[in-house]
Amino acid sequence: MAMSNTPDIKSAEEQIIQQAFDDLLNDYLNSNHRRKVELITKAFNFANQAHAGAKRRSGEPYIMHPLAVARIVCREMGLGSTSICSALLHDVVEDTEYTVEDINNMFGPKIAQIVDGLTKISGGIFGEQASAQAENFRKLLLTMSDDIRVILIKIADRLHNMRTLGSMLPAKQFKIAGETLYLYAPMAHRLGLFSIKTELEDLSFKYEHPEEYAFIKQKLKSTEKDRQILYDHFAAPVLEKLNNMGLTYEMRARVKSVYSIWNKMQSKGVTFEEIYDLFAVRIIFDPLPGIDEKNVCWDIYSAITDIYRIRPDRIRDWVSRPKANGYQALHLTVMGPDGQWIEIQIRSRRMDDIAEKGFAAHWKYKENNVEEDTELDKWLQTITEILESPDPNALDFLDTIKLNLFSSEIFVFTPKGDIKTLPQGATALDFAYALHTNLGNSCIGAKVNHRLVPLSHPLTSGDQVEILTSRSQTPQPEWLNFVTTAKARTRIDAVLKKFRKEMAKKGENKVVAALEHSEVDAGIPNQDKLAVYYGFAKREEFFFAVGKEEIVLPENVKKILKEKTDNVLFKYVKQALGVVKNQKPEEKAVPIEKIRFDKTKPYTLKEEAFERNYVIADCCKPIPGDDAFGFINDDNTVIVHKRSCPIGLKLKSSFGERILTTEWSSHKNASFEATLEIKGIDSIGVLNDITKTISDDFSVNIQRLLIEAKDGVFDGKIKMYVHDVEDIQKMCVALSKIKNVKAVGRVAD
């Protein structure tokens, strides 16, 4: 029976595949690109034949994935035939017997080069090992500097993977979602792919925090009617005014994404109801013949401010000076008729295209848009400079790149009036390195607006900066604490590494000479013993200290070597292996070397007497009830992090094979650290009411209480031991009922 059904299944699959390809062609034919249908058809037929019989984890034919990626590339990014063909072929070299040479022979060098770039970074940017991870990322960026379409197709590939993530195991979902949030979303943001960046963030959030995601979605749905009334009241007089101006335009309200709402709730410590900028009004107009788009933006601005009162500190003019990712728009915030602040974004159709599709849209308007292309070239140039940095550590390297991916820009002037673009928060030292490496290395200070400032002085838009140098100056380790740009960090690192290497070599020579002088073996075992004796876990650190003359070796080191160093050695070996510090006796993890982890099921976080089968991470301190995940340490211990923890995010991105989904068992006998922040009006007896509520009503042990009052308002933090999230929630409700207490919420310590 099964045999006779097989042709029917095959026929149905072929129809589905053909329909998907027809949809792709329709999207392409509706674009303004040159008609190269034959080439796209040839690429589809080749990929379809190459992937014949292969299935995705969801059970659908594998070719549906390249077709979906090609459709994203065409429809959502606005790219043409070269990118569509490359997307269709992107997995052929990786998953089949065909080579890049075969692609070159059939489709030409440009498509072959892009497919080769995509193949080199396949399997996710993050490899199994740190060095492979850094190398893959370097390959991606090097190829990207050759042809930006490589990264655009890679982002499209990731977007489709995120849209179909439901068929993956939970631990794999965490890895992919963490990786997406850590790297792909900021990369899409930097390339101006706003709608894709938003969807990547929302999908990552959906898999990492399903309950919060569902809660915010439900809240948005239930408040939709109120928002519509608010928008209608605001829009009526504006529509009348714009119609009188003779414009062709559309005006609509755009609701904030689920992820950005949650992010704001977390960072500001507020509830959903306290977020007032849930939507922004967007006005998109078609340009008028012979009138500059910028002038139309300001005309619309003038019309709106005739009706509503403006908030001067919230004007953002990205029309005159676009962002580095090409974004252009005029933003203003006005007081609406219902007494609420409303943000308005004014853009031309071209500006909206670039805002949604980023650099991909620039080809559409290339002849008019030299400036944006120049900005892209500048960004790729900074990436190339970072790649020149010798021997980058994988995670440091990714963090360095990320510094530049996420930043907003400021514009700073040289003494001659030239403009330099820097990230928000950049310092005088960053500016020095932006001008030239030698200027940065020898910088001793700066004059900002003719006033003398230190190297660490943060710059703001419009500052005029003159760099002061000295020949005797060299980069110092503390400089790394206040530079923000990737270029400055890598240049300082390079000099410090070189200095450290030279100093360590000098120290090593001194150690070897001292051992030989004492007529003992100068080999590594004795060098290690000396390092341990002086309190160093690593030989290189000991050499460095000797080189800098922080340690002066005695005339005869033989006596030191004869002393028993076993206890000292044990102590430092433990440190070197990274055993968890400050671990409380009751938090001691059960040795689990022999346990094999089943990643298909959640790992249960057990509480048995005073022993646990896990360790709480110091960075985020999750408690029972928190969304959490497990990370398998080198010694096979499970370290538990919150899913939203920034350090946890790096672990998910970099060590996906060590991630476990977790579930909490009942923890009514155990206590966990938690910190509450409480704010309100200062009054007699309020502190007494707070402590009484915590101690009497909840029998909670307060570890630390710090409350400060100023100008009639108090603000405090209470550190205590609780059983789980439910304790915290009940406590917040009880405390918020106390007279004059205005806000209560859990915060990181």
In the chain, CATH 3.30.70.260 sits at 672-747
Which residue do the tokens 């689920």 mark? Answer: 258
Average pLDDT on 491-504 reads: 87
Q: CA–CA separation, 642 vs 617, rounded Å? A: 8
pLDDT at 1 over 50: no
> Which of 374-382's residues contact partners 24+ apart within 8 Å by CB, and which partners?
375/322, 375/324, 375/325, 375/326, 376/148, 376/326, 378/324, 378/421, 379/190, 379/324, 379/325, 379/404, 380/144, 380/145, 380/148, 382/486, 382/487
pLDDT at 372 over 60: no
Choose between 479 and 542: higher pLDDT. Answer: 479
Backbone torsions φ then ψ of 605, nearest 5 degrees: -85, 100
Structure tokens at 747: 């915060």
Alpha helices (H) in 30-88, listed in sequence order: 37-50, 64-71, 81-88
Catalytic residue among 13, 23, 27, 95: 95
When pLDDT is cut at 50, 70 and 90, the band that residue 549 belongs to is: confident
**CA 378 remoteness from chain centre:** 22
Tens digit of each residue's pLDDT (9 = 90 or more) over 163-174: 988 888 888 888
Highest mean pLDDT among 229-233, 367-371, 392-396: 229-233
94 is catalytic: yes
Check residue 129 and give its pLDDT.
Answer: 42
How many residues comprise the chain? 749
Structure tokens at 10: 């095959």
In this structure, which CATH number among 3.40.30.10, 3.40.50.720, 3.10.20.30, 3.90.1150.10 belongs to the domain 373-493?
3.10.20.30
Check residue 139 and give its pLDDT.
Answer: 54
Neighbours of 666 (CB within 10 A): 11
When pLDDT is cut at 50, 70 and 90, the band that residue 440 belongs to is: very high
Tens digit of each residue's pLDDT (9 = 90 or more) over 599-641: 778 888 876 545 677 888 887 888 888 888 888 887 778 888 8
Catalytic residue among 14, 22, 94, 635: 94
Domain 672-747 CATH class label:
alpha beta
| Partners of residue 608 on adjacent β-strands | 611
Burial of 485 (0-12, 13-18, 19+ CB in 10 A): buried
Structure tokens at 616: 């709480």
Average pLDDT on 345-372 reads: 66
Check residue 657 and give its pLDDT.
Answer: 77
Which residue do the tokens 């070719």 mark? Answer: 63
Check residue 304 and give its pLDDT.
Answer: 93
pLDDT at 718 over 70: yes
Mean pLDDT of the chain: 78
Neighbours of 231 (CB within 10 A): 17
Decide: helix, strand or coil at residue 68: helix
657 is catalytic: no
Q: CA nearest 508: which of 531, 484, 491, 480?
A: 531
First to last CA, the chain: 64
Cα four-point dihedral sign 178, 84, 166, 195: positive
> Which of 525-533's residues contact partners 24+ apart within 8 Å by CB, and which partners?
526/561, 529/560, 529/561, 529/565, 529/569, 530/557, 530/560, 530/561, 532/565, 532/568, 532/569, 532/572, 533/560, 533/563, 533/565, 533/568
Structure tokens at 587: 């938090």
Tens digit of each residue's pLDDT (9 = 90 or more) over 329-353: 999 988 888 888 889 999 999 888 8
Q: CA–CA separation, 573 vs 569, rounded Å? A: 6
Check residue 665 and give its pLDDT.
Answer: 78
In the chain, CATH 3.30.460.10 sits at 217-368
In the chain, CATH 3.10.20.30 sits at 373-493
Which residue do the tokens 């982890």 mark? Answer: 597
What is the identity of the amino acid at 434?
A
pLDDT at 233 over 50: yes
Structure tokens at 156: 């499209």
**The domain defined by 217-368 carries CATH number 3.30.460.10:** yes
Q: CA nearest 333: which of 286, 276, 295?
A: 276
CATH classification code of 16-210: 1.10.3210.10
Choose between 219 and 408: higher pLDDT. Answer: 219
Q: CA–CA separation, 288 vs 631, rounded Å? A: 58
